[in-house]
């Protein structure tokens, strides 16, 4: 994500071309005599800005958008320090200092939401995180390109379906009136409804995540696999390494940088679990099993009207998450795998 | 289409050595029969688990009352009454129109503003402060203001219960912008230089050179935005209280996921189709647009445009 790496090559100015011989391919159009006889470095900042005024027509609308819809809402976090009331608004509500944060610590529901969030996150790191790696390795072991492509087409599909539709479809299959419940009926288990059972809910959540995103998750691993030189496999095979050993000693080590990077991102997001997914299913399984930090903020704040407290919960969560990402990135750099920023 | 075909053909396939007739590189051993049959079983399992749920819902949306809730794996009756009732002009029809409108307008606006910003940020060396703008956009990928502050912003802007609340907050995605910018920067820069020397304005270069050369990336990003707008659920839940303005995802949540009874679906002169079939028919019509564009989109996702962005 380094910005320097993405910079375009500087435009071939007269100076640059005089110093460096022009690379092949651009020689005809970049004839030094055709380039404008100006040296941009000597111009003042204002002159350069005036010269490039057209570019600001492209940049300013986008920058305004991010200022209003990404940065301005950050200021809305002041509500976390207020006894916010919708009638008085942000400017006239009473300031209460850290009272909302103190209330958070004594709120049982916050603790429950935190525990649920962490349990689901850990289950996801244990099962949903490795799933695409395993699938990518499996698909990579298939010899037929056509079969591989066909399976990729099938497994990417659920990624493009909204959570609302995914939950609706799962309800039809696993719910009380679906074919799975009927199968349980046949072996004598009556009234099985996996979709509303609070005890198995967290496993259900992780299964849904795997079903929806296992295919999409393989893309980045395929990119990494395709950059491993084929000669490595070829010479390993000539030295007598079977397909398992080639996978273990060549493919997996080739994936380690990508895996550690993604693990960093996952750890940084440990406080965020599928918000829409849980919001949709909470009415069916109850808050005890399905309340996570984000749904707590929604239900307590937007639905319940306790704006200050839930804004405090959201702010605290955001700050901790940012610290986690930066911390995990430091660790990754120290381990020599390179960070993301 | 030449550019698109190039993109669909990633470098890796070109580098791959020639294969034997079995699709196997010459140095690789023949896989054992046990291994091969295990793989076939695994493939079959993956395909069934991924596709059967879709098939089930599609099949039973065409069933009548006798088949529904009987636990069959496929229905034994056929009826289109569920579709007739949801297309009779009630909640579902209206929400489909609303969602289609938001998707079309939103995708167009997103494409315009994303491509403009992406082009504006391609020359960070020459244009003062454009690097700062780039950093400002990149940073938004690592934090979010949270539900409450976003809600308060939309409220302060007076956009509650307005369709703009479903379009404006997601107008430009930083990720999509970066994908596009990377693509623009890989275009032959000499073209732009010589156009500039010939006196073309940046607007002219953008409209006559950059955009026509970028059809592939524009198509991919348009699909991303369109799928996003079609699928958007939480923004609508948060900002739209007026049920007549509900997009399809909210209708799905209300009548299918939460199973609330639909009051305006029954035509007065006919018996109502069973609720289960109607629910499945709603799922089908909400999924159909995605299923239709998916084959076109899929070929880009494998490799090509996106991997460049991820590596960059």
A241-290, pLDDT tens digit by residue? 888 888 999 999 989 888 888 887 788 788 888 899 999 999 999 989 99
Q: Model pTM?
A: 0.84
Contact A136, A225 (CB under 8 A): yes
- Mean pLDDT (chain A) is 83
Q: With 50 as the cut, is the pLDDT of residue B175 above it?
A: yes
Decide if B148 and A297 are in contact by the 8 Å CB cutoff. yes
* A80/chain B closest Cα distance in angstroms: 9
* Last residue within a domain, chosen from A51, A76, A95: A95
Decide if B146 and A317 are in contact by the 8 Å CB cutoff. yes
Of A52, A157, A226, the CB nearest to B303: A226
Mean pLDDT score, B135-139: 92
Is A267 a member of any domain? yes
Is A339 a member of any domain? no
Kindly report the three-state secondary structure assignment for every residue of chain A: CCHHHHCCCCCCCHHHHHHCCCCCCCCCCCCHHHCCCCCHHHCCHHHHHHHCHHHHHHHHHHHHHHHHHHHHHHHHHHHHHEECCCCCHHHHCEECCCHHHHHHHCCHHHHHHHHHHHHHHHHHHHHHCHHHHHHHHHHHHCCCHHHHHHHHHHHHHHHHCCHHHHHHHHHHHHCCCCHHHHHHHHCCCCCCCHHHCCCCHHHHHHHHHHHHHHHHHHHHHHHHHHCCCHHHHHHHHHCCCCHHHHHHHHHHHHHHHHHHHHHHHHHHCCCCCCHHHHHHHHHHHCHHHHCCHHHHHHHHHHHCCCHHHHHHHHHHHHHHHHHHHHHHHHHHHHCCCCCCC
Is A91 a member of any domain? yes
Q: Give the model's pLDDT for residue B161.
A: 95
B24 DSSP assignment: -
Confidence of residue B302 (pLDDT cuts 50, 70, 90): low
A77–B contact, CB cutoff 8 A = yes
Is A152 a member of any domain? yes
Distance CA B110, CA B171 (A): 5
Q: Give the model's pLDDT for residue A60.
A: 96
Q: Give the model's pLDDT for residue A338.
A: 57
Distance CA A10, CA B123 (A): 8
- Is residue A276 domain-shared with residue A316, that is, in the same domain? yes
Which residue from A minimizes the CA distance to B42? A138
Distance CA A100, CA A309 (A): 5
The range of the structural domain enclosing residue A270 comes to: 99-334
* Last residue within a domain, chosen from A67, A95, A123: A95
Q: With 80 as the cut, is the pLDDT of residue A213 above it?
A: yes
Backbone angles phi and psi of A119, in degrees to 5: -65, -45
CB contacts, 8 Å: A297 with chain B: 146-148
Is A340 a member of any domain? no
- Is residue A52 domain-shared with residue A106, that is, in the same domain? no
Is A264 a member of any domain? yes
- Is residue A136 domain-shared with residue A50, that is, in the same domain? no
Mean pLDDT score, A323-334: 79
Q: Give the model's pLDDT for residue B68.
A: 63
> What is the number of other CB atoms lying within 10 angstroms of the CB of residue B168?
18
- Is residue A86 domain-shared with residue A184, that is, in the same domain? no
- Is residue A70 domain-shared with residue A188, that is, in the same domain? no
A120-152, pLDDT tens digit by residue? 999 999 999 999 999 999 998 887 888 888 898
A window 93-132, beta carbon within 8 A of B = none
- Is residue A152 domain-shared with residue A35, that is, in the same domain? no
Of A152, A179, A307, the CB nearest to B302: A152
Please count the structural domains in chain A. Answer: 2
- Mean pLDDT (chain B) is 83
Q: Specify the residue for token string 């703008």.
A: B133
- Is residue A232 domain-shared with residue A150, that is, in the same domain? yes
- Is residue A213 domain-shared with residue A308, that is, in the same domain? yes
Is A341 a member of any domain? no
A307–B contact, CB cutoff 8 A = yes
* A155/chain B closest Cα distance in angstroms: 7
Percent of chain B with pLDDT over 70: 82
Contact B60, B73 (CB under 8 A): no
Is A36 a member of any domain? yes
- Is residue A108 domain-shared with residue A151, that is, in the same domain? yes
* CATH (domain of A157): 1.10.3720.10
Please tell me which of A178-182, B1-5, B53-57 the model is most confident about, judged by mean pLDDT.
B53-57
Has the ipTM of the complex gone over 0.90?
no
Q: Which range has the worst mean pLDDT, A2-11, A282-291, B78-87, B264-273?
A: A2-11
Q: Which range has the worst mean pLDDT, A23-32, A298-307, B122-131, B260-269?
A: A23-32
Domain ranges of chain B: 89-264
Confidence of residue A42 (pLDDT cuts 50, 70, 90): low
A185-207, pLDDT tens digit by residue? 888 888 788 898 999 999 999 99
Decide if A65 and B113 are in contact by the 8 Å CB cutoff. yes
A55–B contact, CB cutoff 8 A = yes
* Last residue within a domain, chosen from A39, A67, A95: A95
Confidence of residue B5 (pLDDT cuts 50, 70, 90): very low
Which residue from B minimizes the CA distance to A91? B156
Task: Determine the topology of domain B89-264 in CATH.
Answer: MetI-like fold (1.10.3720)
Of A169, A183, A233, the CB nearest to B53: A169
Confidence of residue B165 (pLDDT cuts 50, 70, 90): very high
- Is residue A8 domain-shared with residue A74, that is, in the same domain? yes
CB contacts, 8 Å: A315 with chain B: 146
- Is residue A205 domain-shared with residue A123, that is, in the same domain? yes
Q: Specify the residue for token string 């005809």.
A: A28
- Is residue A60 domain-shared with residue A15, that is, in the same domain? yes
């Amino acid at each position: 994500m380094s910005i320097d790496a993405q910079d375009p090559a500087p435009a071939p100015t007269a100076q640059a071309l005089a110093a460096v011989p022009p690379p092949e391919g651009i020689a005809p159009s970049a004839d030094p005599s055709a380039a404008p006889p100006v040296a941009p470095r000597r111009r003042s900042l204002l002159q350069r800005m005036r010269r490039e005024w057209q570019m600001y027509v492209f940049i300013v609308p986008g920058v305004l958008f991010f200022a209003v819809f990404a940065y301005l809402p950050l200021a809305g976090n002041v509500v976390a320090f207020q006894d916010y009331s919708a009638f008085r608004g942000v400017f006239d509500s009473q300031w209460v200092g850290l009272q909302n944060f103190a209330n958070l610590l004594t709120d049982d529901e916050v603790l429950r939401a935190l525990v649920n969030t962490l349990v689901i996150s850990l289950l996801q790191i244990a099962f949903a995180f490795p799933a695409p790696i395993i699938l990518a390795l499996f698909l990579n072991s298939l010899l037929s390109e056509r079969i591989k492509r066909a399976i990729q087409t099938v497994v990417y599909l659920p990624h493009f379906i909204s959570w609302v539709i995914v939950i609706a479809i799962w309800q039809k299959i696993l719910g009380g009136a679906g074919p799975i419940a009927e199968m349980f009926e046949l072996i004598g288990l009556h009234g099985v409804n996996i979709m509303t059972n609070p005890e198995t809910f967290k496993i259900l959540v992780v299964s849904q995540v795997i079903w929806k995103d296992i295919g999409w998750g393989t893309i980045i691993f395929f990119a990494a696999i395709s950059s491993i030189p084929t000669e490595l496999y070829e010479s390993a095979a000539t030295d007598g390494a079977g397909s398992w050993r080639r996978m273990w000693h060549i493919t997996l080590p080739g994936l380690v940088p990508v895996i550690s990077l993604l693990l960093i991102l996952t750890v940084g997001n440990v406080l965020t679990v599928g918000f829409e997914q849980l919001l949709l299913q909470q009415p069916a399984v109850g808050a005890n099993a399905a309340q996570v930090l984000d749904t707590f903020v929604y239900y307590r704040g937007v639905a319940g009207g306790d704006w200050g407290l839930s804004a405090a919960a959201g702010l605290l969560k955001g700050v901790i998450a940012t610290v986690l990402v930066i911390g995990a990135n430091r660790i990754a750099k120290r381990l020599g795998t390179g960070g993301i920023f | 289409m030449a550019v698109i075909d190039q993109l669909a053909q990633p470098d890796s396939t070109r580098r791959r050595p020639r294969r034997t007739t079995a699709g196997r590189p010459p140095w690789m051993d023949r896989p054992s029969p046990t291994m091969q049959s295990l793989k076939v079983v695994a493939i079959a399992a993956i395909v069934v688990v991924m596709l059967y749920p879709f098939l089930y819902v599609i099949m039973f949306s065409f069933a009548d009352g006798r088949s529904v809730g009987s636990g069959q794996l496929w229905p034994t009756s056929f009826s289109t009454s569920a579709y007739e009732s949801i297309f009779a002009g009630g909640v579902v029809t209206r929400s489909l129109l609303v969602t289609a409108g938001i998707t079309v307008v939103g995708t167009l606006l997103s494409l315009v503003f994303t491509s403009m910003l992406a082009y504006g940020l391609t020359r960070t060396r020459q244009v003062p402060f454009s690097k700062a703008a780039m950093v400002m956009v990149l940073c938004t990928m690592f934090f979010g203001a949270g539900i409450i502050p976003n809600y308060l912003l939309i409220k302060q802007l007076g956009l509650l219960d307005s369709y703009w609340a479903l379009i404006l907050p997601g107008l430009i995605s930083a990720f999509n912008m970066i994908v596009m910018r990377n693509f623009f920067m890989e275009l032959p820069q000499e073209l732009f230089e010589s156009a500039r020397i010939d006196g073309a304005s940046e607007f002219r270069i953008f409209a006559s050179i950059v955009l026509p050369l970028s059809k592939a990336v524009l198509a991919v990003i348009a699909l991303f935005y369109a799928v996003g707008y079609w699928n958007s659920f939480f923004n609508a839940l948060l900002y739209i209280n007026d049920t007549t303005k509900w997009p399809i995802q909210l209708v799905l949540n209300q009548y299918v996921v939460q199973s609330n009874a639909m009051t305006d679906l029954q035509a007065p002169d006919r018996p109502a189709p069973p609720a289960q079939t109607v629910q499945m028919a709603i799922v089908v019509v909400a999924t159909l647009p995605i299923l239709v564009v998916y084959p076109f989109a899929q070929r880009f996702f494998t490799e090509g445009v996106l991997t460049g962005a991820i590596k960059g």
